[in-house]
């Protein structure tokens, strides 16, 4: 199976490569249109700021490629947010694949932003991405913006307010947390994406 | 619920961990990659690596090589610091697989570095480390491993670092560091009140209770320690079990 990680200068690309290698998979790292289109599965990672990253995707022409992919795609963190409709970070239109909005965490005067660290997730029962994942399992989050709850929500977490911890819309899967940094729980989720989605 | 983090800190010199480290089931305790793996399996929530290599020759390359090996081996987040001076330095470390970087003296000498790093890589990966000492009533910020006093008071500098774009503050009380008599709970709480970014408390851990108080009274989001973890005085699973029993939100160890 050919797993391709979209290489667009996101800070954590290497971490995703290593996470897959620990699962015994040798992924391809590419920003080439044909390579991406011909992959069996695609991972769209992300760390950074939304509007400048969106601009970078446009410069590479990837904004035209990603929405038309038919194979399973997994967006991670900023990658997930960019799959959504719009983001308050820089007030931009994102790729518009998942019809949900990305908003900034409100300041409640108590909880810190970014939401940084280990938190649980409540998953939709029997979703293949979360097979073998328990309600008491923790995953690692780092983000100041969140996707609202909606029809595509397959897992939610509560921090300041309930938000989407994971989304699925057709062949597009996405996690707000970082499975590549979430210990054995995260490895299991990546393995599920590769084997079951 | 978001949990409090327990963070072992490893000092690195010429690509090896320094200080005598006595870690169970680890034959070569000097290898930071093996130690990192052992800590991540024990339930550490994050790791911090501080490069204290004296010579600057080849330092950047050697550190980047080590960061790649660590990132290859562990599946939890880690921060790297020591001698970082520029956006270029950080770019190399993040692309090698580090999740965050920490800067100390360079940030005080040039606060714009914090801004530049936040703009280029996002605030979430910029940890500003602050060493401070209480002299009579005032807390003064020190540089260069505590050798050089600055004009900054602790709370003013913490606020300035946040304004410049720091995503986290790692505070070490020089009065408490190495004493094993507990963290500087009161002043840590004062920093937590002054800024709205997470605080990692460092310096003074000696007993289980010290972690409890710094995470409650001290209002820290994370607690860092070195020797008590390295020498197995407080194993991480035991610490986490204790904190859970104390009703502190903690990611359990499996």
CATH code, domain carrying A134: 3.40.50.880
* A188 has a chain B CB within 8 A of its CB: no
Q: Do B71 and A114 touch (CB under 8 A)?
A: no
Domain span holding position A67? 3-194
Q: Flag whether pLDDT at B26 surpasses 60.
A: no
Residues 6 or more apart whose Cβ sits within 8 Å of residue A47: A10, A11, A12, A77, A78, A142, B121, B122, B124, B125
Tell me which residues of A are annotated as active site. Answer: 77, 178, 180
pTM for the model stands at: 0.93
Q: Note whether A144 contacts B45, CB cutoff 8 Å.
A: no
CA-nearest residue to A15 within chain B is: B97
pLDDT tens digits, A79-136: 999 999 999 998 999 999 999 999 999 988 889 888 999 999 999 878 999 999 998 8
Task: Quote the ipTM score.
Answer: 0.91
Mean pLDDT value across residues B57-76: 89
Sheet holding A28-30, edge to edge: A28-30, A3-6, A41-44, A73-76, A172-175, A161-169, A153-159, A122-123
Choose the weakest-confidence range: A50-54, A153-157, B195-199. A50-54
Who contacts B231 (Cβ-Cβ below 8 Å, separation ≥6)? B20, B21, B22
pLDDT for B22: 52
Whose tokens are 């913490």? That residue is: B158
Which residues are registered as beta bridge partners of A172? A73, A169
**Domain range list for chain B:** 5-245
Angle, CA B64 vertex, CA A143 and CA B74 arms, to 5°: 55
Does residue B233 sit at the A interface (CB-CB below 8 Å)? no
Residue A107 in contact with partner chain B when CB distance is under 8 A:
yes
Q: Rounded CA gap, A174 and A12, in Å?
A: 16
High-pLDDT (> 70) share of chain B, %: 93
What confidence score (pLDDT) does residue B17 get? 79
> Chain A: residue nearest B119 by CA?
A49
Contact list in B for residue A144 (CB cut-off 8 A) is 123-124
pLDDT band at B20 (very low <50, low <70, confident <90, very high): very low
Judge: A118–B2 Cβ closer than 8 Å, yes or no.
Answer: yes
CATH architecture of structural domain B5-245 = Alpha-Beta Barrel (3.20)
pLDDT at residue B127 tops 60: yes
Domain count, chain A: 1
Residue B209 has pLDDT above 60, yes or no: yes
Residue B62, pLDDT score: 84
Does B121 contact A184 at a Cβ distance shorter than 8 Å?
Answer: no
Residues of B in contact with A49 (CB under 8 A): 122
Q: B232: pLDDT confidence band, cut at 50, 70 and 90?
A: confident
């Amino acid at each position: 199976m050919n797993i391709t990680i979209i290489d667009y200068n996101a800070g954590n690309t290497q971490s995703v490569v290593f996470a897959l290698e620990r699962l015994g998979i040798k992924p391809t790292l590419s920003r080439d249109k044909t390579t991406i289109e011909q992959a069996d599965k695609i991972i769209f990672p992300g760390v950074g700021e939304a509007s400048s990253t969106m601009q970078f995707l446009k410069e590479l022409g990837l904004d035209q490629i990603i929405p038309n992919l038919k194979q399973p795609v997994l967006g991670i963190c900023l990658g997930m947010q960019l799959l959504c409709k719009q983001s308050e970070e820089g007030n931009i239109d994102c790729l518009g694949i998942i019809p949900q909005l990305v908003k900034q965490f409100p300041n409640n005067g108590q909880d810190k932003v970014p939401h940084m660290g280990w938190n649980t997730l409540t998953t939709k029962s029997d979703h293949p991405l979360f097979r073998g994942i328990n309600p008491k399992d923790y995953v690692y989050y780092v983000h100041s913006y969140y996707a609202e709850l909606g029809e595509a929500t397959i897992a939610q977490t509560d921090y300041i307010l309930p938000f989407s911890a994971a989304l699925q819309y057709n062949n597009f899967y996405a996690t707000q947390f970082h499975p590549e940094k979430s210990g054995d729980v995260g490895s299991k989720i990546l393995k599920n994406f590769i084997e079951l989605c | 619920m978001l949990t409090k983090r327990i963070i072992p800190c490893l000092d690195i010199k010429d690509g090896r961990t320094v200080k005598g480290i006595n870690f169970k089931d680890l034959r070569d305790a000097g290898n930071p990659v093996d130690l990192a793996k052992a800590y991540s399996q024990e339930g550490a929530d994050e790791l911090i690596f501080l490069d204290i290599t004296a010579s600057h020759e080849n330092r950047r390359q050697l550190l980047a090589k080590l960061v790649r090996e660590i990132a290859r081996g562990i599946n939890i987040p880690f921060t790297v610091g020591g001698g970082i001076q520029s956006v270029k330095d950080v770019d190399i470390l993040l692309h090698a697989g580090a999740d965050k970087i920490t800067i100390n003296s360079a940030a005080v000498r040039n606060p714009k570095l914090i801004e530049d790093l936040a703009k280029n890589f996002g605030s979430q990966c910029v940890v500003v480390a602050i060493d401070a000492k209480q002299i009579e009533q005032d807390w003064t910020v020190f540089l260069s491993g505590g050798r050089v006093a600055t004009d900054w008071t602790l709370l003013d500098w913490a606020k300035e670092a946040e304004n410049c774009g720091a995503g986290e503050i790692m505070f070490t009380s020089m009065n408490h560091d190495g004493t094993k008599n507990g963290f500087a709970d009161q002043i840590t709480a004062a920093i937590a009140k002054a800024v709205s970014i997470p605080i990692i408390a460092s310096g003074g851990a000696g007993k289980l209770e010290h972690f409890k108080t710094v995470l409650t009274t001290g209002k820290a989001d994370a607690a860092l320690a070195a020797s008590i973890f390295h020498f197995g005085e407080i194993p991480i699973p035991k610490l986490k079990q204790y904190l859970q029993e104390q009703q502190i939100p903690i990611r359990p160890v499996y």
